[in-house]
Amino acid sequence: MHGVDLAEIPEETARVARAVFPKGCLAMRVRDTLGPVFADADFEELFPVRGRPVVSPARLALASVLQFTEGLTDRQAAHAVRSRLDWKYALSLELTDTGFDFSVLSEFRARLAEADEGRAVFDAVLAAAGEAGLVKAGKRQRTDATHVLAATRDLNRLEFVVETLRTALNQIAEVAGDWLAGLAAPEWFDRYSARPEDSRFPSRWAARVEHGEQCGADGMALLQAVWSGAAPASLRILPAVEFLRQTWVQQFQRVEGVVRWREPKNTPSGLIRLRTPHEPEARTGAKRDLGWSGYKVHLSETCEPDAPHLITHIHTTPAPVTDDAVLEDIHTALAKRDLVPDEHLVDAGYIDAEQIHHARRDHGITLVGPVGKNTNQQQVHGAFFDNTHFTIDWERHSAICPGGRISVGWRADQSHRGTPVTRIRFAVRDCGPCELRASCTSAKTGRHLTLRPRAEHEILQQARTEQDTDHWRRRYGHRAGVEGTISQGVQAFGLRRSRYRGLAKTRLQHHFTGAAINLARLDAWFTGKSLARTRVSPFAALRPAG
């Protein structure tokens, strides 16, 4: 790869572009303010030292971000490079430059996805904005997530196993057709030649179960034949055959020598349960009444009124990964960019006493969000003494109940999640005759307490008290703005549907999308375009103030 200097815009290109666009346009304003953004040296590890010359990866990166900004296909983006003045200006191209073939863009994305370098493209745009003084560490940031649908069609359980077996049969037929012809029963051609959506499955539930178990038996017979000594050894390493094997382990079991469906409660968790043979990394997620197959993307952005609201981090995960599991990764990534906020606004899915403690201890971040309230049924339906009514002496390892009795047991233990907790026990002889027993415990034994580690316990009590104040509500109200970012990503940039198959390429898409949103927001900031107001329907506007 021979580096190309993008710092200088050809004189004739600059003259004609400014004559045609006297007020400028997005591509030109971004180029004038942020500079070339990318450099070929940033991508030199993706290309071999020797070989045929390549198109400047810096130009390909900027062209790809502009492509996502305008929602263009590869052919349209390549045509824009060839024919549009504003793109030639941004890419530092001569007016007579003929550009490149559209297939170069997909090859460039494949290199980025394989090396997981999509974040480098996103970081370069963010770094350029930082050098222009438009994004800084400290102050406030906010984070939220939304679901992302996989590029493949969602399948029900019966369609899934039939399509998995059909895909394996097709791949084996390409490699060892003669061997498969001698193995396949005549009825297999009727069952698995057509796609599931082109077939008519039985309408009765019992018949559908029987059809699925017949498919399970056929797949088991195929797997046994593939692993027999008479089968070509190359069949065992085919991707579709390995996917078939994993699927059959998850969906079927032998009961007295007969292949049967597994009960739903006996299937793996959503994090490892396969969904379609055409996108092995897609998983099923659920949030309240919404279920989907695909991924989840987390967006973090700045939210100060005196600067553009720029996305500072994008994190893509399989759909079942919970929000609180990614918070530490988000903070670590922000620390690497030197963009750690002073205050981080998140919703209830991200926050817990443990997360608040770790964010403050490891990164100096004040995590703001609603923590869970006490859900004890006695407290919900009436007066009840929760942990806050007990006096805890952490040094002496003892607790005093509201009735003045001292605990008789204190031991370190682990919760069902494997986190450290402290178990405190009060004696039956003290709890039995106590006048406050009805408000303290309904157990026949004495009262038991389970406490988090001291730092987390104190944080939780303080957070529950603070979030009931008007000051906290006004402080937390700034988090709602991230919903507008998600809305912009979904409506203007197709954020909620993956363009590609696989987690790596979906993550690359999101980094390009984040960079494109930042360019659009920077352009809005340069031109003085104000933020859109929250839409309120005419009827909702009539709601009484009280």
The pLDDT assigned to 49 comes to 65
- Over residues 325-352, the mean pLDDT reads 95
C-alpha 411/C-alpha 416 separation (Å) is 16
- pLDDT per residue as tens digits for the range 200-233: 888 898 999 999 999 999 999 999 999 998 899 9
- Rounded-to-5 percentages of helix, strand, coil across the chain: 50, 15, 40
C-alpha 342/C-alpha 138 separation (Å) is 5
The pLDDT assigned to 446 comes to 82
Single-letter amino acid, residue 171? Q
Distance of CA 412 to the CA centre of its chain: 35
- In this model, does residue 17 exceed pLDDT 70? yes
CB-based burial, 1-20: b 16+ in 10 Å, e otherwise? beeeebeebbeebbeebeee
Indicate the pTM of the whole model.
Answer: 0.90
What's the mean pLDDT when you consider all of the chain? 91
274 contacts 252 by C-beta, under 8 angstroms: no
Question: Beta strand 343-345 with 290-302: parallel, antiparallel or unpaired?
Answer: unpaired
Burial tier of 153 (Cβ tally within 10 Å: 0-12, 13-18, 19+): middle
155 contacts 275 by C-beta, under 8 angstroms: yes
- Over residues 151-176, the mean pLDDT reads 94
Query: Model confidence at 3, in pLDDT bands (50, 70, 90)?
Result: low
Q: What angle do CA 523, 527, 531 make, to 5 degrees?
A: 80
- Which residue from 281, 277, 279 is spatially nearest to 170, judged by alpha carbons? 277
Q: Give me the sheet containing 409-414, strands edge to edge.
A: 409-414, 420-425, 448-451
The pLDDT assigned to 500 comes to 94
C-alpha 150/C-alpha 499 separation (Å) is 8
CB-based burial, 254-281: b 16+ in 10 Å, e otherwise? eeeeebebeeeeeeeebeeebbbbbbbb
- In this model, does residue 335 exceed pLDDT 80? yes
The pLDDT assigned to 423 comes to 92
Q: How far is CA 164 from CA 170, 247, 276, 311, 437, in A?
A: 10, 8, 7, 39, 59
Q: Which two tokens stand for residue 279?
A: 């996108």
DSSP summary character for residue 497: B
Query: Model confidence at 379, in pLDDT bands (50, 70, 90)?
Result: very low
- Which residue from 299, 323, 322 is spatially nearest to 482, judged by alpha carbons? 299
507 contacts 116 by C-beta, under 8 angstroms: yes
The pLDDT assigned to 300 comes to 97
Question: Beta strand 290-302 with 311-318: parallel, antiparallel or unpaired?
Answer: antiparallel
- Which residue from 73, 48, 78, 51 is spatially nearest to 63, judged by alpha carbons? 78
- pLDDT per residue as tens digits for the range 419-450: 899 999 999 888 888 888 888 887 778 888 88
C-alpha 504/C-alpha 507 separation (Å) is 5
CB atoms inside a 10 Å sphere around CB 77:
21
Q: What angle do CA 525, 531, 535 make, to 5 degrees?
A: 165
φ, ψ for residue 398 (rounded to 5)?
-150, 165
C-alpha 546/C-alpha 543 separation (Å) is 8
C-alpha 454/C-alpha 289 separation (Å) is 36
111 contacts 46 by C-beta, under 8 angstroms: yes
C-alpha 520/C-alpha 282 separation (Å) is 30
Residue predicted with more confidence, 98 or 439: 98
C-alpha 369/C-alpha 349 separation (Å) is 9
Please identify which residue in the block is written with the tokens 């008519």: 200
- Over residues 318-339, the mean pLDDT reads 94
C-alpha 209/C-alpha 261 separation (Å) is 8
Helices then strands, counting H and E runs in the chain, come out as: 20, 13
Q: For the ranges 161-165, 187-191, 199-203, which has the lowest average pLDDT?
A: 199-203
192 contacts 246 by C-beta, under 8 angstroms: no
- pLDDT per residue as tens digits for the range 342-368: 999 999 999 999 999 999 999 999 999
Please identify which residue in the block is written with the tokens 């060892």: 176
φ, ψ for residue 100 (rounded to 5)?
-150, 165
Query: Dihedral, CA atoms, 424, 427, 433, 436, nearest 10 degrees?
Result: -10
- In this model, does residue 14 exceed pLDDT 50? yes
Task: Find the helix packing angle between 205-226 and 157-175, rounded to 10°.
Answer: 30
Query: Dihedral, CA atoms, 492, 498, 503, 506, nearest 10 degrees?
Result: -40
- Over residues 411-420, the mean pLDDT reads 87
3-state secondary structure of 252: strand
Tell me the three-class secondary structure of 294-306, residue by residue: EEEEEEEEECCCC
**Half-sphere CA count of 126, side-chain side, radius 13 A:** 28
The pLDDT assigned to 336 comes to 94
Q: Which two tokens stand for residue 129?
A: 């904005």
